[in-house]
Amino acid sequence: MNRTLAMIFTLPRLVTACEDYLLTQEVDTACLNITKTLARYLRSAVFVQDTIPDEINGRHTAYERYKGLTVLAHHHPKPVASKPHDHGCTWAIYGVGAAKTAMYDWELVEPAKDGQRGKVKLKRSYWIMPGMAFYFPQGAIHSHQTYDDSKLIRIEGMNIRSNHFKVGGKYFDPISTEVDST
Pairing of strands 118-128, 172-176: parallel
The reported pTM is 0.88
Considering only CA atoms, which of 52, 40, 56, 54 is closest in space to residue 6? 40
151-163 pLDDT, tens digit per residue, is 999 999 987 766 4
Is the confidence at residue 81, as pLDDT, over 80? yes
52-72 pLDDT, tens digit per residue, is 999 999 999 999 987 789 999
The lowest-confidence range among 10-24, 119-133, 158-172 is: 158-172
CATH numeric code, 3-176: 2.60.120.10
Considering only CA atoms, which of 174, 116, 179 is closest in space to residue 143? 174
**DSSP structure string for 130-154:** TT-EEEE-TT-EEEEEE-TTEEEEE
Ranges of each domain in the chain? 3-176
pLDDT at 126: 96
The lowest-confidence range among 16-25, 106-115, 137-146 is: 106-115
Q: What is the Cα–Cα distance from 101 to 79, expressed in whole angstroms?
A: 10
